[in-house]
Amino acid sequence: MEIAFLIEKVAIVVILFVVTLTIAAYSTLAERKVAAFLQDRVGPDRAGPFGVFQPLADGGKMFFKEETTPNGANKWLFIAGPSLALLTSFLGSAVIPWGQSINFFGRIVPLQVTDINVGILYIFGVVSLGVYGIMIGGWASNNKYSLMGAIRGASQNISYEIAMGLSIIALLLCTNSLSFKVIAEQQHGINWNFWYQPLGFLIFLVCAFAETNRVPFDLPECETELIGGYNTEYSGFKMGAYMFAEYINMFVSSAVMATLYFGGYNYPGMDFVNLHLGPTWGPLVGVAVLLGKILAFIFFFMWVRWTVPRFRYDQLMNLGWKILIPLAIANIVVTACVITFFDKF
C-alpha cells in the first residue's frame, strides 16, 4: 500500500514535471508564433513543419552558448538567482488539482500531487518567493541596470501581491475553503466562481500579469529602458533558466486562474461524459479541458503582450495602490454584505 502510494505520487510528479517543461518550451515557440500572426507574419517555420522543433534548437543554443560571469559579480549569488527563479516557478504546480480522482486499474488515484488544506496560501508563499530570484540575480550582477530591474521587480511584486491577496479574500468568502481540491469540486459543471466574482477575477488577472512580469507590467526587464533589467548580464543556460522560469510562472498562474475562477477541470455536461466514458477516461477528459483552459490563458497572456504597451513606473504604482487595492477592498465588502444578506433572509 505504502509503496503503491509512493509510486503513484512519483509518477504524478514526473508527469507534471515533464508536462510543465514541455509547455514552457513550447510557450517560447507559441510566443513567437502568436507575435508573428498578430503582426501579419508567419514566425519561425524552418525547424520542422511549422517550426515545431524550434524549441529544441533554441534549447540547444542555450546550452552551447558561452556563459560569462561579470568580474564584479557575486559568483555564488549569480548562480543562485536563476536557480531560485526556476525552483520557485516549479513549486507552484504541486497543489493544482488536474482532474477528478481517476480509476486506474481498480485504484482510485487523485490527480493532484498534494492536497494541502491551505493550498492558496501555499501558492501565494511560493509565488512571492519568486521575486527573490529576480532580486538576487539583479543584485549579484553588479550592474546598474540589473539593480534597477531588481528593485522594480521587488517593489512591483510587493504592491501587486496585496491587491491579489485581497481579491482572493473575496473569493474565499464565497468558497469557504482554502483547499484547491474543494474549490475545484464546488465549481461542478458551469457553476464557476467567475460568475460570482467577475471583478475579483479582473483584479486577480491584472495582478497575475504583474506577478509574472509580463507586458504591460514587464518593468523589471524592459529591454528598451533597462536593456533586459535583471538578466542583462546573464547568458547561456542561466539566461535560459530565467526565461523558462517566466514561462513556467505563466503556466502556473494560468492554471491557478483556471482553477480558482474558471472551474478547473469542470465543464458543462461532465456528468454525462463521465457516465458514458467510465471512471478512467471521464476524468481524463476533464484534464484535457483544464489544459485547454490553461492554454487559452497562456494565449491571452501573449495576446495582451502584443497589444498593450508597457506602463510607466509611476502609472504602475498608481494602478496598484490607488485603484486595485481600493477596488479589491470594496469587492470584499460588497461580497461580504451580499453573503450575509442571503444567509440571514
Partner 1 sequence: MESLSGRKKVLEQKPMNFWERIYLPAIFKGMGITFMHMFKKKETTYYPEQEREFSENWRGMHSLKRDENGKERCTACGLCALSCPAEAITMTSAERQKGEEHLYREEKYAAVYEINMLRCIFCGLCEEACPKEAIYLDGPIVPSEFLRKDFIYGKDKLVELSITDLAAQKGVLA
Where do contacts with partner 1 occur on this chain (CB under 8 A)?
A: 37-42, 303-304, 306-308
Rounded to 10 degrees, the C-alpha dihedral 18/23/29/32 comes to: -150
Q: Which is nearer to partner 1, 33 or 181 (CB)?
A: 33
Which of 303/313 has CB closer to partner 1?
303
| Residue with smaller CB distance to partner 1, 44 or 240 | 44
Cα dihedral sign, 183-100-116-263: negative
Shortest CB 185 distance to partner 1, Å = 32
Report the alpha-carbon distance of residue 20 to residue 265 in Å, rounded.
Answer: 17
Residue 235 identity (one-letter amino acid):
S
Distance CA(275)–CA(268), nearest Å, equals: 14
Contact (CB, 8 A) for 294 and 258: yes
For 57, other C-beta atoms within 10 Å of its C-beta total: 15
CB of residue 224 vs partner 1: minimum separation in angstroms?
19
**Least distance in angstroms from the C-beta of 171 to partner 1:** 20
Smallest gap, in angstroms, from Cβ of residue 324 to partner 1?
Answer: 12
Work out how close the CB of 119 gets to partner 1 at its nearest, in angstroms, rounded to a whole number. 30
Nearer to partner 1, 95 or 302 (CB): 302
The number of beta carbons lying within 10 Å of the beta carbon of residue 53 is 15
Q: Which is nearer to partner 1, 106 or 309 (CB)?
A: 309
CB of 39 to partner 1, least distance (A): 7
Nearest Cα to Cα of residue 111 among 209, 24, 9: 9
Q: How far is the CB of 156 from partner 1 (least distance, A)?
A: 18
CA distance 299 to 29: 12
Q: Which is nearer to partner 1, 144 or 312 (CB)?
A: 312
The residues near 278 (Cβ < 8 Å, ≥ 6 apart) are: 103
Contact partners, residue 259, CB within 8 Å, separation at least 6:
96, 97, 180, 183, 184, 290
If the CB atoms of residues 237 and 306 are measured against partner 1, the closer one turns out to be 306
Cell of 265: 477541470
Instruction: For cell 474558471, name the residue.
Output: 262
- E-strand ranges in the chain read 102-104, 107-109
Q: Is 269 exposed, middle or buried (0-12, 13-18, 19+ CB in 10 A)?
A: exposed
For the bound state, the minimum distance from the C-beta of residue 255 to partner 1, rounded and expressed in Å, comes to: 22
Nearer to partner 1, 104 or 303 (CB): 303
